[in-house]
Amino acid sequence: MKRVVIILAVGLLFVLPSVAWGDDAQNYVTAGFGFYHYTGDITRETQLDEAVIVELSYGRYFHPNFVLEAGVGYIHDDHSGDELQGWPFTLSAIGV
């Protein structure tokens, strides 16, 4: 529980200083960090440990009501000999 509070507090440090400039938005970059903690067994044979996911995305406003966003992430879970890794790629069209 303490880790979650610390992670949220650090996240707020990046959100609170943001300001509104009044100009139309052209581009933006977002970063995300996640932490998974499994509290029980999914099955008797599989026991997962903590996992970490990190994501970075870039968005571009082509119109005040239309955004294209591309992102890449990394997920890692290491459990006593078994290892889960992934690189999720996303491409989104967003109507604002």
Cα–Cα distance, 87 to 60 (Å, whole number): 22
Q: Above 90 in pLDDT, residue 40?
A: no
**What's the pLDDT at 49?**
67
How long, in residues, is the chain? Answer: 96
**What's the pLDDT at 44?**
55
Q: Above 70 in pLDDT, residue 45?
A: no
Using CA atoms in the order 73, 78, 84, 90, what is the torsion angle rounded to 10 degrees?
-10
DSSP 48: -
- Phi/psi for 50 (5° steps) reads -65, 150
Cα–Cα distance, 52 to 3 (Å, whole number): 13
In this structure, are strands 51-63 and 82-86 parallel, antiparallel, or unpaired? unpaired
Arithmetic mean of pLDDT, 4-24:
59
Residue type, 14: F
